Amino acid sequence: MTDTKKSQHGEWSSRFAFILAATGSAVGLGNIWKFPYITGENGGGAFVIIYLLCVLLIGIPIMMAETMLGRRSRQNPISTMITLADEAGADKNWHYLGWMGVAAGFLILSYYSVIAGWASAYVLKALTGSFFGADASAIKAIFDDFVASPVKLLFWHSLFMLATMLIVVRGVNTGLEKAVRFLMPSLFVLLILMVAYAMTTDSYDQGVKFLFTPDFSKLTGNGVLTAMGHAFFTLSLGMGAIMVYGSYLPKDVSISKTVFLIAGTDTVVALLAGVAIFPIVFASGLEPAAGPGLIFQTLPIAFGNMTGGWFFGVLFFVMLVFAALSSSISLIEPAVAWLVENKDMSREQACIWSGSITWLLGLGTIFSFNVWSEFKIFDRTIFQLLDYLTANLMLPIGGFCIAVFAGWIMKQQHTEHELDMPNALSYQTWQILTRYVAPAAVFLVFLHVVGVL
């Protein structure tokens, strides 16, 4: 393979386009919906610190590795692993990593789309003024009522999946670039506005303290695993999404600088969401551990009671849906790229196949919140099981393998050339993190959870 290999599936128009798309993939429900509720469930500050450490020491080096693998091979994740293993003279079995990624993408999107459906439904609720003047219990009733209806959830899930497929059919680097360009800054401004609102509640200090004052006695082994898994989830790592996006990346772009920018933005968005939400949680006497409904039970209280709340409420949920869309397309793109490049399908066929499978899988999550809420496997509903399996197991395992592959299997001259770091020290730092720190950390956390440590 030569270094000038062109991507078969086009290229981003610029470094900025890649940054937008990768940030679009990273920033999503993970930051605004998931981060606050898992932080609430795991006791706050200590969990946040572990999450931040994982982003820095595991997420960022692996994100660089994953981008690099994609850019070097310029193919979908499955073919990438075949080509690069071949180039390094390594075992063929590495391509199973690509397969696991494709599977993880389907599983994640199946529940991601259901939650994104909730956000879409909330656009309509905001539009029709449902939150106006409502207190915490009225807002909770709206939420409970909504998720109790499988038909409603199915409708919004179907709509969101359809929207995802329509974008993916056109190719990720056309329509999407434009949407994300306007979306990201607006979402940012809105979150700052929500933080400003949170400051007006009496519980601002309590919320901030909950987020940033660590109490390690509240953190369990599973909490540590959740924090680590979330570092992968929020950065879209471990399943080939960033690899596919990297495969569209022009050669002259600095991977390290770009990755720092994306990971930094992603982290700031999550922390802003936390600072906006927890003061409202405490001011309204809600439970931080309320679970997946947390943002839907808190933010509408703010929209229902602040000046201009109607406008900001509509805008906020619209932004959230867009943020979810720019993430969902990256969850399905590895599968679609593989079907198109290797199975001779047209983009339309590939989208219909993968979209239908995901849509069907989504039913499990929909029913987890109503008719099957008592149906548990390993003490978890289907939704909880899917979330645990993907975020806490598959993504860290995928990330572990990517780190080992980039750190140990690939030739140093290749990684050095691809990463093209500003100096030797930064390359060595990356190498130490990828070879030792990240794989060891994942391994130790797993040992800890199964009780060996």
Q: Which residues bind ligand TRP (CB under 6 A)?
A: 25-26, 28-31, 108, 233-234, 236, 239, 241, 327, 330-331, 395
Which strand (E) or helix (H) includes residue 150? Answer: helix 150-169
CB of 140 to ligand TRP, least distance (A): 24
Of residues 136 and 211, the one with the C-beta less far from ligand TRP: 211
CA 99 to chain centre: 19
Question: Contact, 255 vs 64, CB < 8 A?
Answer: yes
3-class state of residue 239 by DSSP: coil
Of residues 241 and 350, the one with the C-beta less far from ligand TRP: 241
Of residues 126 and 269, the one with the C-beta less far from ligand TRP: 269
Of residues 244 and 445, the one with the C-beta less far from ligand TRP: 244
Burial status of residue 49 (CB atoms within 10 A of its CB: 0-12, 13-18, 19 or more): middle
CB of 187 to ligand TRP, least distance (A): 12
CB of 351 to ligand TRP, least distance (A): 17
CA 62 – CA 440 distance, rounded (Å)? 13
CB of 345 to ligand TRP, least distance (A): 22
Of residues 186 and 206, the one with the C-beta less far from ligand TRP: 186
CB of 236 to ligand TRP, least distance (A): 3
Of residues 207 and 396, the one with the C-beta less far from ligand TRP: 396
CB of 401 to ligand TRP, least distance (A): 14
CA 296 – CA 437 distance, rounded (Å)? 37
Question: Contact, 136 vs 284, CB < 8 A?
Answer: yes
CA 47 – CA 265 distance, rounded (Å)? 19
CA 407 – CA 403 distance, rounded (Å)? 6
Question: Contact, 341 vs 350, CB < 8 A?
Answer: no
CA 302 – CA 228 distance, rounded (Å)? 31
Torsion angles phi and psi, residue 237, rounded to 5? -100, 160
CB of 239 to ligand TRP, least distance (A): 5
The token pair that represents 228 in the structure block: 């680590």
Choose among 291, 342, 297, 271: nearest CA to 80.
Answer: 342
Of residues 134 and 275, the one with the C-beta less far from ligand TRP: 275
Of residues 194 and 283, the one with the C-beta less far from ligand TRP: 194
Of residues 100 and 395, the one with the C-beta less far from ligand TRP: 395
CA 145 to chain centre: 27
> What DSSP designation does 220 have?
-
CB of 256 to ligand TRP, least distance (A): 20
Of residues 102 and 108, the one with the C-beta less far from ligand TRP: 108
- Give strand pairing partners of 377: 380
> Cβ-closest residue to ligand TRP?
30
CB of 33 to ligand TRP, least distance (A): 8
CB of 241 to ligand TRP, least distance (A): 4
For every residue of 165-188, DSSP letters joined together read HHHHHT-TTSHHHHHHHHHHHHHH
Choose among 198, 227, 216, 208: nearest CA to 38.
Answer: 227
Question: Contact, 279 vs 444, CB < 8 A?
Answer: no
The amino acid at residue 329 is I
